[in-house]
């Protein structure tokens, strides 16, 4: 059927012409037979003509049915792939006039389906991990509250005023920790649709440089652009994502001799790209993806909300872009890839 797919249109046209020409061939043979003088010759011409005409007609009709079934079979194949979640199926490309556009459309549907399925699976894994983290963090925070309140309820007369005040203080601290934790999680779920506009990378970098210039270690950050890079982004959200990464890079280069953070905007292949590179400690390959998990931290003394990287990646997803990390001594690079 490969030949049929390459020359499908011509096969259909020729087969249809053969089928429609059969009545004319029959009439022509009848005229020839009528002009034949001998009865035997007439009978022979008529018989042979009928057999040949019928044979060609049957072959042509069968072939025409097969040709009509070909795109139907391709559609059924695509539908089965969707039902069976077959991510490997690809409809063969063809330059044929009729099938070319159809095969492109079917492959586009399959590609969109694969992308949607992968995104759903990624989101499921992402939220499963968030749920596990939330359960762990909330249990650790609430357990001391339960223990203290159980003790206070069970031994109301055995507590001094000082012990009571200390217990209340611990409960208050733990309650605030729960609130702070839930507020951090809320930030991941309330991001609005980006308000997209064109902004030169130089302008974006100048704004970010102004925002972070008072922070400790900001002097280690260099902003560079390779050519005229214009970004179609929500500048507020992207600034938030970049500042999160830059702050982490500044912290990573603390105490590093000649510590540097380089923020570079470029246009490889005509697509905007921003990289944030630092020469701090290497991030182990085993946890490269885990660092984008909400509330995950590689710091010995965790500070902040622990959602900076997760929030930055979600902002890039809202821009239909990606945020990835590669770490090989002596450099760690976070890459913002835009469409």
| One domain, residues 213 and 284 | yes
Residue finishing a domain among 135, 159, 189: 189
| One domain, residues 22 and 73 | yes
DSSP 8-state assignment for residue 291: G
Helices (H) and strands (E) in the chain, counts: 8, 7
| One domain, residues 183 and 213 | no
Assess if residue 167 is contained within a domain.
yes
The answer for residues whose C-beta is within 8 angstroms of residue 271's C-beta and 6 or more apart is 337, 338, 339
- The helix/strand/coil state of 72 is helix
| Least confident piece of the model among 4-8, 290-294, 325-329 | 4-8
* Residue 82 predicted with pLDDT over 90: no
| One domain, residues 184 and 229 | no
| One domain, residues 33 and 138 | no
Assess if residue 98 is contained within a domain.
no
Chain segment 9-59, per-residue pLDDT in tens: 667 777 777 777 777 767 776 676 666 666 666 666 667 667 777 777 777
Q: How far is CA 36 from CA 26, 27, 31, 53, in A?
A: 16, 15, 9, 19
Beta carbons of 232 and 198 less than 8 angstroms apart: yes
Q: Give the structural domain span for 173.
A: 110-189
Q: How far apart are CA 260 and CA 124, in angstroms?
A: 37
Assess if residue 285 is contained within a domain.
yes
% of the chain at pLDDT higher than 70? 80
Q: Name the domain count of the chain.
A: 3
DSSP H or E stretch at residue 92? none
* Residue 64 predicted with pLDDT over 70: yes
pLDDT average, residue stretch 75-89: 74
Enter the tokens of residue 42. Answer: 């007439």
The answer for residues whose C-beta is within 8 angstroms of residue 273's C-beta and 6 or more apart is 265, 266, 267, 335, 336, 337, 338
Beta carbons of 9 and 97 less than 8 angstroms apart: yes
| One domain, residues 43 and 9 | yes
Beta carbons of 226 and 264 less than 8 angstroms apart: yes
Assess if residue 100 is contained within a domain.
no
Residues paired with residue 232 on neighbouring β-strands, in sequence order: 198
Mean predicted lDDT score pLDDT of the chain: 80
pLDDT of residue 149: 85
- The confidence band for 2, taking pLDDT boundaries of 50, 70 and 90, is very low
pLDDT of residue 251: 92
Chain segment 214-259, per-residue pLDDT in tens: 889 999 999 999 999 999 999 989 998 999 999 999 999 998 989 9
pLDDT of residue 1: 42
51-55, 92-96, 193-197, 325-329, range with greatest mean pLDDT: 325-329
Beta carbons of 205 and 328 less than 8 angstroms apart: no
| One domain, residues 171 and 284 | no
pLDDT of residue 9: 67
Q: How far apart are CA 48 and CA 234, in angstroms?
A: 79
> In this structure, what CATH number is given to the domain that contains residue 323?
3.30.565.10
| One domain, residues 202 and 139 | no
| One domain, residues 234 and 291 | yes
Enter the tokens of residue 201. Answer: 């990378």
* Residue 300 predicted with pLDDT over 60: no
> In this structure, what CATH number is given to the domain that contains residue 173?
1.10.287
pLDDT average, residue stretch 163-177: 82
Q: How far apart are CA 280 and CA 297, in angstroms?
A: 16
| One domain, residues 265 and 297 | yes
Q: How far apart are CA 254 and CA 203, in angstroms?
A: 27
Residues paired with residue 264 on neighbouring β-strands, in sequence order: 224, 275
152-163 burial, b if ≥16 CB within 10 A, otherwise e?
beeeeeeeeeee
| One domain, residues 170 and 225 | no
Q: How far apart are CA 140 and CA 109, in angstroms?
A: 46
Beta carbons of 322 and 241 less than 8 angstroms apart: no
Assess if residue 255 is contained within a domain.
yes
């Amino acid at each position: 059927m490969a030949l049929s797919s390459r020359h499908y249109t011509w096969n259909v046209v020729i087969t249809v012409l053969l089928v429609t020409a059969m009545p004319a061939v029959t009439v022509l043979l009848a005229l020839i037979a009528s002009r034949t003088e001998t009865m035997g010759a007439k009978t022979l011409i008529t018989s042979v003509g009928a057999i040949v005409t019928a044979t060609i007609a049957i072959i042509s009709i069968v072939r025409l049915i097969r040709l009509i079934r070909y795109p139907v079979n391709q559609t059924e194949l695509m539908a089965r792939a969707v039902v069976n979640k077959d991510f490997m199926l690809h409809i063969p490309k063809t330059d044929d006039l009729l099938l070319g556009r159809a095969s492109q459309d079917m492959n586009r549907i399959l590609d969109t389906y694969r992308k949607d399925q992968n995104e759903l699976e990624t989101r499921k894994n992402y939220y499963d991990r968030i749920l596990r983290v939330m359960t762990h963090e909330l249990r650790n925070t609430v357990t001391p509250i339960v223990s203290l309140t159980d003790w206070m309820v069970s031994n109301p007369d055995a507590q001094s005023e000082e012990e009571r005040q200390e217990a209340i203080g611990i409960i208050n601290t733990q309650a605030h920790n729960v609130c702070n934790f839930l507020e951090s999680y809320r930030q991941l779920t309330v991001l609005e649709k980006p308000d997209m506009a064109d902004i030169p990378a130089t302008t974006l970098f100048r704004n970010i440089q102004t925002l972070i210039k008072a922070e400790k270690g900001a002097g280690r950050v260099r902003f560079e652009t390779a050519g005229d890079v214009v970004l179609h982004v929500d500048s507020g959200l992207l600034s938030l994502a970049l500042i999160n990464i830059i702050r982490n890079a500044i912290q990573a280069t603390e105490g590093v001799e000649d510590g540097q953070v380089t923020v570079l905007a470029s246009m490889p292949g005509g697509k905007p790209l921003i990289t944030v590179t630092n020469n701090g400690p290497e991030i182990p390959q085993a946890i490269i993806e885990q660092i984008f998990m909400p509330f995950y931290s590689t710091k010995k003394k965790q500070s902040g909300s622990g959602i900076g990287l997760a929030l930055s990646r979600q902002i890039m997803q809202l821009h239909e872009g990606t945020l990835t990390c590669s770490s090989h001594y002596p450099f760690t690079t976070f890459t913002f890839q835009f469409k």
